[in-house]
Amino acid sequence: MALMTAQEYIESLRKLNTRVYMFGEKIENWVDHPMIRPSINCVAMTYALAQDPQYADLMTVKSSLTGHTINRFTHLHQSTEDLMNKVKMQRLLGQKTASCFQRCVGMDAFNAVFSTTFEIDEKYGTHYHENFKKFLTMVQDNDLTVDGAMTDPKGDRSKAPSQQADPDMYVHVVERRPDGIVVCGAKCHQTGSINSHWHIFMPTISMGEADKDWAVSFACPTDAEGMYMIYGRQSCDTRKLEEDASIDVGNAKFGGQEALVVLDHVFIPNEYIFLNGEYEFAGMIVERFAGYHRQSYGGCKVGVGDVVIGAAALAAEYNGVEKASAVKDKLIEMTHLNETLFCCGIACSAQGFKTKAGNYQIDLLLANVCKQNVTRFPYEIVRLAEDIAGGLMVTMPSQKDFNSDTVVGRNGETIGQICNKFFAAREGVSTEDRQRVMRFLENMCLGAAAVGYRTESMHGAGSPQAQRIMIARQGNIQGKKQFAKDIAGIKD
């Protein structure tokens, strides 16, 4: 099958029997739901750009499995150039959507599971690697969107999976059959889960022998029997349900998506199983996936950051302060921070290396440094954007007020006329344009988009402490001490 178009992708979702719940009710037509559709539009952009010759080198690539032209989001990285192009592609999509485009988790899962299954088979003589290659070939040939599902609810985090009062706090096997397994549990904060055709489930922590039933990885269609999604709320999300509120929404076309994915006795056939009790490899999948996904943030968050910087510069221009030295300096600082994140994404890619399986892995230390910076710099970028925009970003009347014909003034002025008068921008700039950039910045800094930029920068791909643990492991302090001893003339 050829690469899907954006419209073909959207129509393909309608064919799924995905079970989606929101506000305590089942959503029948979730594809067109005003709170969900912006996130679908984001994924659709990954298909649209792949059809554009201008972006062909970034968005498409030859499959290492079939030799066919495929979307890069379904690719196994074959070189450090591939790793760098991944980051550049993610920045491009961030620039085009100012939001989370949701296919990164699947791409990162592909590469982590591919190399890990090779090493499991090498040790145990299992067939997980062949299972995965057949699955990924199907994904590539059909240009599917696949969600990478890793984060378990975890329950009491001081206890291992096997020690939990409720075993469902981590996804686990409840029955093993000759033809497959039955699984229960859930995955939290799942980016793009509803918008995906399939899911790859992975362990979320390193495990011991007692946790064998929780050491499981597999692929599952999104509309499998027993699987359903509960949509996650976002700040200001119900603005999307209001009439005549496209300006108030901020980014009316695009948005991110998170959901709780529940597995209620879901059957997984043998051919879709990639890990089943080999507990010592659970940590390997986690570490490799986390590394790839922390690399991703050096691209996607940078692209969104480009848009935040642009919106802040527009706000300054509309306010008539773009020439002020303090404003210029703030924009310089925002750019410096944003490009530093991009440097980290490129650096961990350029330092990548070939795995035993043949695909390329990023430098884990630099990937974790990248994500550690992402937990900090976007917060400062947002703070500076709010500083430049001014308080109107969060105190402006609604779009309905600006359009209101209710008379309130002594001379017959309407609420709309009053709002447009007192919130006017500099000469030559319409009040509506000022409205739009302020609401857009509110959405990026504080609203629904902040979930995919500011807050996700903190918790996505693991908390800051998770990166610090990996930096401690990868930092080679003993080697650095030896450097100092050698130069200082200290003998052991």
Q: State what percent of residues in the chain have pLDDT above 70.
A: 100
Q: Is 453 considered catalytic here?
A: no
Q: Is 188 considered catalytic here?
A: no
User: DSSP letter at 198?
Assistant: E
- pLDDT, residue 1, reads 64
Give the ranges where 184-324 is alpha helix by DSSP (H). Answer: 246-249, 282-296, 300-319
The contacts found for 366-369 with CB under 8 angstroms, 24 or more apart, are: 367/291, 367/292, 367/294, 367/295, 368/291, 368/294, 368/467, 368/470, 368/471, 368/474, 369/344, 369/467, 369/471
Exposure string over 283-294, b if 16+ CB within 10 A, otherwise e: ebbbbbbbbbbb
- pLDDT, residue 199, reads 98
For residue range 246-295, list pLDDT tens digits in order.
999 999 999 999 999 999 999 999 999 999 999 999 999 999 999 999 99
The active-site residue out of 18, 80, 97, 104 is: 104
- pLDDT, residue 287, reads 96
> What's the mean pLDDT when you consider all of the chain?
96
Task: Give the number of C-alpha atoms closer than 13 A to the C-alpha of residue 280, restricted to the C-beta side.
Answer: 5
Q: Is 293 considered catalytic here?
A: yes
Which residues have C-beta within 8 Å of that of residue 169, sequence separation ≥ 6?
Answer: 152, 153, 154, 155, 156, 161, 185
Cα angle for residues 9, 15, 16 (degrees, 5° grid): 100
- pLDDT, residue 165, reads 98
- pLDDT, residue 449, reads 78
Q: pTM to 2 decimals?
A: 0.97
Q: Are strands 360-361 and 25-26 parallel, antiparallel or unpaired?
A: unpaired
Q: Is 199 considered catalytic here?
A: no
Q: Is 81 considered catalytic here?
A: no
Tokens of 226: 């027993």
Q: Is 297 considered catalytic here?
A: yes
The active-site residue out of 60, 117, 191, 204 is: 191
- CATH number for the 300-488 domain, one of 1.10.10.10, 1.20.140.10, 1.10.150.240, 3.30.56.10? 1.20.140.10
Q: What is the mean pLDDT of each run of 10 residues along the chain (492 residues)?
A: 92 98 97 97 98 97 98 98 98 97 97 98 98 98 98 97 98 98 97 97 97 98 98 94 94 95 98 98 97 97 98 97 98 98 98 98 98 97 97 96 96 96 95 97 87 86 92 96 96 90
Q: Is 370 considered catalytic here?
A: no
Spans of all domains in the chain: 300-488
The active-site residue out of 42, 258, 355, 445 is: 258
Q: For residues 101 and 103, what is the distance between their CA atoms, to the nearest angstrom?
A: 6
The active-site residue out of 9, 279, 297, 453 is: 297
- pLDDT, residue 48, reads 98
The active-site residue out of 46, 47, 75, 100 is: 100
The active-site residue out of 293, 386, 419, 453 is: 293
